[in-house]
Amino acid sequence: MKALRVLNTFTAASLALVFAAATGASEPEDIIKYRKNVMKSNGAHMSAAALLIQDKVPEYKGRLADHAQAIVIFTRNIPALFPKDSDFGDTDALDTVWSKRTEFEKRAKDTEQKATAFASAVKAGNNPAIAARFKELSDSCKACHKDFRREQQ
Ligand code: HEC
> Does residue 153 belong to any structural domain of this protein?
no
> Does residue 84 belong to any structural domain of this protein?
yes
> Does residue 6 belong to any structural domain of this protein?
no
Between the CA of 105 and the centroid of ligand 1 the distance, in Å, is 13
Position 106 scores a pLDDT of 98
Question: What proportion of the chain, given as a percentage, has pLDDT over 90?
Answer: 82
Please check the confidence at residue 23 and state whether its pLDDT lies above 90. no
Position 39 scores a pLDDT of 98
> Does residue 78 belong to any structural domain of this protein?
yes
CB-based contact 104:148 (threshold 8 Å): yes
> Does residue 17 belong to any structural domain of this protein?
no
> Does residue 37 belong to any structural domain of this protein?
yes
Q: How confident is the model at residue 67 (pLDDT cuts 50, 70, 90)?
A: very high
Higher pLDDT, residue 3 or 57: 57
Position 110 scores a pLDDT of 98
Atom of ligand 1 nearest to the CA of 110: 5
Q: What's the average model confidence in pLDDT over 35-51?
A: 98
Structural domain boundaries enclosing 48 = 27-148
Nearest CA to ligand 1 atom 21: 39
Kindly report the CATH number assigned to the domain that includes residue 50: 1.20.120.10
Please check the confidence at residue 1 and state whether its pLDDT lies above 60. no
Please check the confidence at residue 14 and state whether its pLDDT lies above 90. no
Please check the confidence at residue 53 and state whether its pLDDT lies above 90. yes
What is the count of structural domains for the chain?
A: 1
> Does residue 73 belong to any structural domain of this protein?
yes
Ligand 1 neighbourhood includes 134 CB (under 6 angstroms): no
75-130, pLDDT tens digit by residue? 999 999 999 999 999 999 999 999 999 999 999 999 999 999 999 999 999 999 99
Position 2 scores a pLDDT of 57
Ligand 1 neighbourhood includes 86 CB (under 6 angstroms): no
> Does residue 7 belong to any structural domain of this protein?
no
Between the CA of 2 and the centroid of ligand 1 the distance, in Å, is 43
Q: Closest Cα partner for 98 from 107, 86, 89, 109?
A: 86
Between the CA of 64 and the centroid of ligand 1 the distance, in Å, is 21
Alpha carbon of residue 54 to chain centroid = 22
Q: How many CB atoms lie within 10 A of CB 84?
A: 8
23 membership: H or E segment, kind and range: helix 2-23
Please check the confidence at residue 20 and state whether its pLDDT lies above 90. no
